[in-house]
Structure 1
Amino acid sequence: MNLGRWWRTIRDIPPRQLAARVQFEIKARSLPHLPLSLRRSLALGNPIPTPPLRQGYLKALEFPKIPQHFAPPEATYTFTFLNQSRQLAFPIPWNSPDYPRLWQFNLHYFDWVREVLTRGYQQGQVDGASLSQLKHFIDNWIAANPLCSFDGWHPYTTSLRIVNWTFATRAIPTLAKPEIITSVWFQVNYLHRHKEYFAGGNHLLENLRGLIIGGLNFDCPKAESIVRLTLDQLAQQLAIQILPDGGHYERSPMYHLIVLNLVAETVACLQNAGWSIPDTINEPLHRMLQFAETIRLSSGLFPLWNDAAYDIANPLDEVVSWVRQLLAQPSTDATDALHERLLQASGTCQAASILTQTSVTTSSLLTDSGYYILRNATGIELTFDCAPPCPSELPPHAHADCLTIDLYCKGQPVIVDTGTSEYSSGTIRSYERSTLAHNTVAIANQNQSEIWGSFRVGRKAQPNNVQSGTFQEWQWVSAAHNGYANPPLKAWHQRWVGLETKAIVILDRLETALATEYTSRLHFAPGLHLIYEPETQVYACELKTTCLYIQCLGLTADDEVKWLDADTSESWYAPEFGRRYPRGYLQIKGSLLPKGKIFCLVLTLDSRPKMTWTWHNQQGKLQFENGEILTWHFQPRNLVVLE
């Protein structure tokens, strides 16, 4: 056991949060082994008998036509989560060591209920086969997962299941049998006493959504008390978790969309039940919506910063569309059928003016989140990550990716980060979180942040010297980080990125107290290939509508520049869980001496570059000439454009 790494991992976690984690682990291991009566008393606090349902709650979800007969269960059913399919015999084996943990969590979520409801709304009625399947699965889950049996009763799976069962029983009243409603009531009471204070972040917000939407389902003082307390906690957490620029503080666009969606669903259900929405929830919701709109790329996707994939959250345009309508703002018509019903339930009319979705064409400077997207009129989008890896007390979704960049040309991904294909501990997870998996620089073959396990981070790289501005036709951002600042390396990395009409400059400045080596990588989208032209010392890459040329400047004979194609690079692109697509990368590798190093990548579109590179060491400045001159002036541990 590496005690130093453990210490660096837990030292940023508040004692109260650590105590909550210990308490949770003790309960998770002990409660399932107690007699059911004692288990119920300890886990539920002797709740009152199941109260009546709130009349008229989510009436807009109800199907006008519902089959009256249930078909017998089939021998086997196929479940597909995270792009992995498994055929399971009925009764369903809900918990198995053969399942990956996240796949098993998905089995307990019942998120596929939303697909059944959405398909039913599109067809005008829920089909008999789906209804029978849903009834059998819910009954079987109740029978096979007694109170406090994990993972079914993990607070996170419980939170999602409460919401999904509430929507299902309100949409299909024939499912609202006493045993099912009693189970929902027990789950609400259990979650009320087992919120994930030890985890915080999006997990705690999921708990709060489940308690509010599930609590509103019942008509009694106890349920109302739970909702009121939870509503206050939601406001408190949004004040903590939503940054001034609207981004979620875990700094993952995927989790930002999940959080935006769950807060909006909570608001819709509160409005349906006649509750007023406090400004402490309404105002952060507006900011979160604006952040989601701002990070939208012209392709309709978002950058894969930190843990992120495109198949977990609802598509960005769908989330933005229905939340805009919930907030009575003009929107697109890309709203899924279930959220259309929730809009009806909330009493919110769609705005009369329906807009066509357009891409953001101006640059996005999200300074609180630490994310920048430089855009120009030619369709180039250059993203720059100079964000902290995570909240200090919440490291699970952090990557060692500070100062990474992405490049998109007219919606086409050109240079992109790796993404996230799995959460299970192992080689794949470690690589996808590593510095070498991102488009930045690794020093001494180390990760900037001390990532380990599936979700742990010890020492965390922190950005500094963050600056941005414009100069002539250039937009630029510059930042450094302290990820290599500890002895014996005492190394430092600063990156300056600039975007002009058809040119991108990536300038790296490295310093170290100890002779070592560095590695810089640019990972290209699958299907792209670089061809080296020795006579011009330029790499060329054919894109859909243009050609990209790359020139490496400031290198010495000791530096090696190499293109590794998809067959030899061992790199991949993971835009979805469970899927990895081979791709190539351009690598610069060389020695790093205490005197430091400065090198530059110049990327131009359409025309071949003609550049000269001049370094004036005595004057502490560096000039790049391409028709006009850019001059960088160096200061101790800083780099600015002054002329």
Structure 2
Amino acid sequence: MRRGARHFMARLASLRSGGVPDAPALPVRDPWPGEPGRGARIIKGEIDYRGAVRPLRTGSFAASDASPLMLAHIHGFTWLRDLRALGTDAARSRARALISDWIGCDQRPATAITPPVTGARLAAWLGHYDFFAASADDDFRQMLMARLVHDARHLSAAMPIEARDGRAFTALKGLIAASVALPEHAAFLPRALRFLTPEITRQILGDGSHCERSPASHLAVLQDLTEIRALLQSARAESPPQLPGTIERMAIALRGLRHADGGLALFNGTSEDWPNLIDLVLSQAGRTGRSSTTLAQSGFHRLTAGKTTIIVDAGPPPGPGMDRFAHAGTLAFELSVGRERLIVNCGAAPASATDWRDALRATAAHSTLIIADVSSSEIKPEGLGRRPTRVEVNRQEANGAHWLETSHDGWQKLFGAIHTRRLYLSESGEDLRGEDSVVAAEPQPFTLRFHLHPNVTASIQQDNEAALLRLPSGQGWRLRAGGAALTVEDSIYFGGAEPRRAEQIVLTSTPDGPQQVKWALTKMG
């Protein structure tokens, strides 16, 4: 009722107000780079975002048949970065045309006016004002400024927003950007700051991880928080005391979620193709070069020895309300050697409206074990249903070597089964030993998968008990296993800019075989 009353007052203020500023009083700068290639696609009338491609031209803002994430991206206008990166007069004209079309559209989907999307749009329009509006005519600028004031009032009235995940920070960022750029609406700032500290306390874990357990979401929240800090500095406003320390802890945690090629590990809706952006975010966050090897609260573990890096998801999935990007990848791991990825997960297409979105969230798309082709968590469109509730971890290190023992109960209710995974990485980083077990009263059929990066080739050796894996550099690794049949099968990789064919090593249990597979991955030569 209070939120409804605030919205009514915001509408009343919009009707009564005749004073719309001619331009932002203080500049707001969007600090993140765009991609000229994606900008060129927008000029041609389509938008590419996180595994999906959709039309984006005048007259398309009323469409509502895209996925919720794609709709949020389209109506949030963060893609203005891509047009700015292109930097041509045609890019400026297209930006103005699309913004004018959006303002004039009277049949937008409900997603377009939700607080997180409104916040993203406010920050994007203000952050790119000099790019697309400085050379525009007076009618366009007046229309734009009137809409900015209207949306900022309604966003303020919507606080605190209903979304309880990382989108809350995007909404707060938009309101703070409006308060900085529109000093006559300075009351927006204390209202935004009132809710910022509680969200930081609720969403950022003690180890610096974000509670959604998605490296991509972690990066997005860190971007929002660094932008908020810069906005407050430009307005000479006092930041909440928790903000600097939170940004520093999140930067340390983010470094722990990267492979040596600079990209993120592919867990829970994440792709690898953002190394330059990550470097920029970390430079904006601060100069600390430390990285965390154990993110105890979120459950990610990083094992490094020699040139080998292993990142393991050894934590329970995020809870309801925080699981929009959650995958059924408990106990999955990725392995890279130097700047080359060897074992990966299949990636994600969270903005896709096709079956690929959920297929990539399933356990079979991760480098871990699956029982009876049933995912360890139940995949639902809005998050997860059944999921592991107890994930146990025991980690030890000695003389540069690492030992990690983990287990989860994701199949306990269905099959009375526990999956246990043990990993040992030698001090040289050239010898990884693994043991995967299914502990159950009755034998369970299971499959163990090692998805390979598309640049890796695999071939079965003559004894059918080992596979030779060859990296692009020519370096070879041998994967041997006992207790299951070994095959090389097709896979697919959504970790980069485009889907790519790949291969996977598959270890399949036999009906009368043991409920345990021992395997070893060793460098050759």
The AA in structure 2 aligned to 1:253 is: P
Question: What is the distance in 2 between the residues matched to 1:439 and 1:88?
Answer: 36
Tell me which residue corresponds to 2:371: 443
Tell me which residue corresponds to 2:502: 583
The Cα shift of 1:563 comes to 1.6
* Aligned 8 A contact 2:320 2:384 in 1: no
Question: What is the distance in 2 between the residues matched to 1:373 and 1:380?
Answer: 10
Aligned counterpart for 1:57 among listed residues 26, 29, 44? 26
The 3 A distance-change label for structure 1 pair 510 and 84 is closer
Corresponding residue pairs, total: 504
Question: What is the distance in 2 between the residues matched to 1:154 and 1:363?
Answer: 35
The 3 A distance-change label for structure 1 pair 317 and 592 is farther
Question: What is the distance in 1 between the residues matched to 2:462 and 2:229?
Answer: 61
The AA in structure 2 aligned to 1:79 is: E
1:367 counterpart = 2:296 = yes
Aligned counterpart for 1:215 among listed residues 164, 179, 185? 179
The Cα shift of 1:407 comes to 1.1
* Aligned 8 A contact 2:460 2:466 in 1: yes
1:169 counterpart = 2:94 = no
User: Once superposed, what is the RMSD of the aligned Cα atoms?
Assistant: 3.2
The 3-state SS of whatever aligns with 1:57 is coil
Tell me which residue corresponds to 2:100: 139
The 3-state SS of whatever aligns with 1:287 is helix
The 3-state SS of whatever aligns with 1:415 is strand
Question: What is the distance in 1 between the residues matched to 2:12 and 2:178?
Answer: 18
Tell me which residue corresponds to 1:230: 192
* Aligned 8 A contact 1:195 1:204 in 2: no
The 3 A distance-change label for structure 1 pair 101 and 229 is closer
The Cα shift of 1:248 comes to 0.9
Aligned counterpart for 1:81 among listed residues 36, 48, 58? 48
How does the TM-score come out when normalised to structure 1?
0.72
1:493 counterpart = 2:413 = no
The 3 A distance-change label for structure 1 pair 545 and 561 is closer
Question: What is the distance in 2 between the residues matched to 1:152 and 1:410?
Answer: 43
The Cα shift of 1:106 comes to 2.8
Aligned counterpart for 2:315 among listed residues 374, 377, 387? 387
Tell me which residue corresponds to 2:438: 510
The 3-state SS of whatever aligns with 1:433 is coil
The 3 A distance-change label for structure 1 pair 225 and 363 is closer
1:184 counterpart = 2:112 = no
1:573 counterpart = 2:483 = no
The AA in structure 2 aligned to 1:150 is: A
The 3 A distance-change label for structure 1 pair 365 and 99 is closer
The AA in structure 2 aligned to 1:284 is: T
The Cα shift of 1:310 comes to 3.9
Deviations 1:353-382 (A, max 9, x none): xxxxx8x7x8712212211111112x1111
Deviations 1:275-295 (A, max 9, x none): 011212221111111112232
The 3-state SS of whatever aligns with 1:259 is helix
1:92 counterpart = 2:10 = no
1:159 counterpart = 2:116 = no
Tell me which residue corresponds to 2:477: 548
The Cα shift of 1:156 comes to 2.8
Tell me which residue corresponds to 1:265: 227
The Cα shift of 1:101 comes to 4.6
The AA in structure 2 aligned to 1:234 is: L
The 3-state SS of whatever aligns with 1:414 is strand
Question: What is the distance in 2 between the residues matched to 1:195 and 1:375?
Answer: 43
Tell me which residue corresponds to 1:617: none
The 3-state SS of whatever aligns with 2:110 is coil
Question: What is the distance in 2 between the residues matched to 1:528 and 1:440?
Answer: 18
Aligned counterpart for 1:475 among listed residues 390, 396, 402? 402
> Quick check: 202-211 or 163-172, which moved more?
163-172
Unaligned runs of 5+ in 2: 32-42
The AA in structure 2 aligned to 1:80 is: I
Question: What is the distance in 2 between the residues matched to 1:255 and 1:402?
Answer: 18
Question: What is the distance in 2 between the residues matched to 1:401 and 1:515?
Answer: 22
Deviations 1:75-132 (A, max 9, x none): x85232227666666x432122564554443332222322344555xxxxxx543333
* Aligned 8 A contact 2:272 2:496 in 1: yes
The 3 A distance-change label for structure 1 pair 387 and 464 is closer
Question: What is the distance in 2 between the residues matched to 1:149 and 1:436?
Answer: 34
1:414 counterpart = 2:342 = yes
The 3 A distance-change label for structure 1 pair 464 and 209 is same
Question: What is the distance in 1 between the residues matched to 2:317 and 2:499?
Answer: 23
* Aligned 8 A contact 2:334 2:343 in 1: yes
Question: What is the distance in 2 between the residues matched to 1:279 and 1:157?
Answer: 27
* Aligned 8 A contact 1:248 1:256 in 2: yes
Question: What is the distance in 2 between the residues matched to 1:416 and 1:213?
Answer: 38
The Cα shift of 1:466 comes to 0.8
* Aligned 8 A contact 2:481 2:518 in 1: yes
The 3 A distance-change label for structure 1 pair 208 and 313 is farther
Question: What is the distance in 2 between the residues matched to 1:516 and 1:495?
Answer: 16
Tell me which residue corresponds to 1:627: none
Tell me which residue corresponds to 2:75: 108
Tell me which residue corresponds to 2:91: 130
How does the TM-score come out when normalised to structure 2?
0.87
The 3-state SS of whatever aligns with 2:166 is helix
* Aligned 8 A contact 2:83 2:91 in 1: yes
Tell me which residue corresponds to 1:300: 262
The 3-state SS of whatever aligns with 1:575 is coil
Tell me which residue corresponds to 1:251: 213
* Aligned 8 A contact 2:253 2:292 in 1: no
The 3-state SS of whatever aligns with 2:60 is coil
Tell me which residue corresponds to 1:464: 391
Question: What is the distance in 1 between the residues matched to 2:495 and 2:159?
Answer: 31
The 3 A distance-change label for structure 1 pair 219 and 243 is same
The Cα shift of 1:53 comes to 7.5
Tell me which residue corresponds to 1:638: none
Aligned counterpart for 1:561 among listed residues 450, 472, 486? 486
* Aligned 8 A contact 2:378 2:387 in 1: yes
The AA in structure 2 aligned to 1:517 is: P
Deviations 1:389-445 (A, max 9, x none): 113432211111111111111111111001102444553222211111111111122
Question: What is the distance in 2 between the residues matched to 1:438 and 1:205?
Answer: 30
The AA in structure 2 aligned to 1:105 is: A
Larger radius of gyration between Structure 1 and Structure 2: 1
The AA in structure 2 aligned to 1:419 is: G
Question: What is the distance in 2 between the residues matched to 1:507 and 1:446?
Answer: 20
* Aligned 8 A contact 2:269 2:350 in 1: no
Unaligned runs of 5+ in 1: 1-19, 28-37, 63-75, 121-126, 331-357, 608-643
Deviations 1:195-214 (A, max 9, x none): 57433111111111111112
1:289 counterpart = 2:251 = yes
The 3-state SS of whatever aligns with 2:228 is helix
Deviations 1:18-55 (A, max 9, x none): xx9xx99xx9xxxxxxxxxx998477454462454797
1:240 counterpart = 2:202 = yes
Question: What is the distance in 2 between the residues matched to 1:313 and 1:194?
Answer: 35
5 Å-filtered alignment, 1:558-637, equals: 559-564=484-489, 569=490, 571-576=491-496, 579-591=498-510, 597-607=515-525
Percent identity over the alignment is 22
The Cα shift of 1:535 comes to 4.5
Tell me which residue corresponds to 2:37: none
Question: What is the distance in 1 between the residues matched to 2:22 and 2:205?
Answer: 37
1:520 counterpart = 2:448 = yes
5 Å-filtered alignment, 1:341-356, equals: none
